[in-house]
C-alpha cells in the first residue's frame, strides 16, 4: 500500500480544503472542493490533551474560530460549541470544527483523497503516531487510495516510520537542497512537499529520480503553476483551482498503490 507512483501531470490539490472559497479545514470546504471537481485535498490536524485529532491549522483558536486559547487544551465539549465559519462569511455561520474521524468519513463519501498534514504541538504527545495510525486504519475505507501523511516535523515522520506506518509519507519543507532530499529518502518518504518559490528544475529532477514526486505549495498564480509543471512538479496545492481547471487537463488520482 505504501508505494506512491508519480502522479499524472497537472494534478491540483485543494489547500486546507479549498481555502479561497470556504473556511479552511472545514467540512463545508471539503464539500466545496468536491463541487470544483478536485480529487485531492490537504488539511491540517492537531492532537488535544483528550486525545482527539482535530482539523485545524493554528496552535491557537483565535484566527479561524470564535474561541480562545490553545487547541491542545480544547475539550471535546468546548469544540462542539465553536463556530469556524463566520470569520470567513456569514454563509458559513455555525460551521463546526471537525475531528479527523468526521473528516475521513466526509471525504470518503465525497470521493476525495486526503493529504493529512500533522502540526505541532500534537506530534509531541507520546504515542501520537500510533493514535493517528489507529484512527486512519479504523475510519478510512480499506478499498480507497491510502491517505498521504505529511509534516514539517520530521521527527514525527521518523516516529511514524518506526511505528511501521503503511501509509505514504510526505516530507514537508520550505527549502529544496540535497541534504533535505537525502533526509526525506532516509525517512522513506514518497513525496517531497515544498514551498513553490524554493524549487528549481535540477532539484525536481533529482527528487523524481529517487521516486519522490514533488508537490508544490501554495500556488494561486497561473504563470507560476505553468513554470512548475514545466519543470516537472507533479502537483500543486492551491486555494483557487478555478483558474487552472478551465485550461488544464486534470487526472483523477495520485495513484497511491
Task: Specify the pLDDT at position 125.
Answer: 74
**% of the chain at pLDDT higher than 70:** 90
**Residues of the chain scoring pLDDT < 70:** 1-10, 121-124, 246-257
> Does residue 252 belong to any structural domain of this protein?
no
Q: Using CA atoms, how far apart are residues 244 and 133, in angstroms rounded to an integer? A: 34
Q: Does any domain span residue 250?
A: no
The string of pLDDT tens digits covering residues 103-117 is: 999 999 999 999 999
Check which CATH number belongs to the domain holding 131 and give it.
Answer: 3.20.20.190
Return the pLDDT at 5.
43
Q: Of 210, 256, 197, which is closest to residue 40 (Cα–Cα)? A: 256
Tally the domains of the chain. 1
In a domain, 169, yes or no: yes
Which is nearest to 242 in space by CA: 9, 5, 37, 17? 37
Contact in structure between 108 and 43 (CB atoms under 8 Å): no
Cβ neighbours around 133 below 10 Å, total: 17
Concatenated DSSP letters for 18-70?
Answer: TTTTS-TTSHHHHHHHHHTT-SEEEEEEEE-TTS-EEE-SSSBSTTTSS--SB
Find the domain containing 121 and state its range.
11-245
pLDDT of residue 123: 57
Separation of alpha carbons 161 and 169, rounded Å: 9
What are the tens digits of pLDDT across the range 44-83? 999 998 999 999 999 999 999 999 999 999 999 999 999 9
**Is 173 within the bounds of a domain?**
yes
Task: Please give the pLDDT value at position 122.
Answer: 56
pLDDT at 252: 41
Whether 256 and 146 have beta carbons less than 8 Å apart is answered as yes
Residue 251 resides in a domain: no
Reduced to 3 states (helix: H, G, I; strand: E, B; else coil), residue 10 is: coil
Identify the CA nearest to 21 among candidates 107, 103, 85.
85
Decide if 126 is inside a domain: yes
- Please write down the HEC assignment for all residues of 160-186: HHHCCCCCCEEEEECCCCHHHHHHHHH
pTM of the model: 0.92
164 Cβ partners below 8 Å, 6+ apart? none
Would 4 be classed as within a structural domain? no
Q: H or E segment at 238?
A: strand 235-238
Amino acid at each position: 500500500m505504501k508505494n506512491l507512483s508519480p502522479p499524472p501531470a497537472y494534478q491540483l490539490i485543494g489547500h486546507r480544503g479549498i481555502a479561497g472559497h470556504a473556511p479552511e479545514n472545514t467540512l463545508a470546504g471539503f464539500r466545496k472542493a468536491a463541487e470544483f471537481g478536485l480529487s485531492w485535498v490537504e488539511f491540517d490536524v492537531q492532537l488535544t490533551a483528550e486525545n482527539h485529532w482535530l482539523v485545524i491549522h493554528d496552535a491557537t483558536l483565535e484566527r479561524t474560530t470564535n474561541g480562545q486559547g490553545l487547541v491542545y487544551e480544547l475539550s471535546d465539549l468546548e469544540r462542539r460549541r465553536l463556530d469556524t465559519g463566520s470569520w470567513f462569511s456569514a454563509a458559513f455561520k455555525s460551521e463546526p470544527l471537525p475531528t479527523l474521524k468526521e473528516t475521513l468519513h466526509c471525504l470518503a463519501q465525497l470521493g476525495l483523497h486526503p493529504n493529512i498534514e500533522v502540526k505541532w504541538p500534537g506530534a509531541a504527545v507520546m504515542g501520537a503516531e500510533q493514535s493517528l495510525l489507529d484512527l486512519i486504519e479504523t475510519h478510512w475505507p480499506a478499498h480507497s487510495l491510502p491517505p498521504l501523511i505529511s509534516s514539517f516535523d520530521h521527527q514525527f515522520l521518523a516516529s511514524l516510520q518506526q511505528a511501521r506506518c503503511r501509509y505514504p509519507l510526505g516530507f514537508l519543507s520550505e527549502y529544496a537542497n540535497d541534504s533535505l532530499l537525502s533526509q526525506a529518502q532516509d525517512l522513506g518518504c514518497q513525496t517531497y512537499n515544498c514551498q513553490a518559490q524554493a524549487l528549481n528544475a535540477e532539484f525536481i529532477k533529482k527528487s523524481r529520480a529517487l521516486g519522490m514526486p514533488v508537490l508544490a505549495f501554495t500556488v494561486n498564480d497561473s504563470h507560476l503553476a505553468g513554470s512548475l509543471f514545466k519543470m516537472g512538479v507533479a502537483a500543486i496545492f492551491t486555494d483557487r483551482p478555478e483558474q487552472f481547471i478551465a485550461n488544464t487537463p486534470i487526472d483523477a488520482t495520485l495513484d497511491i498503490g
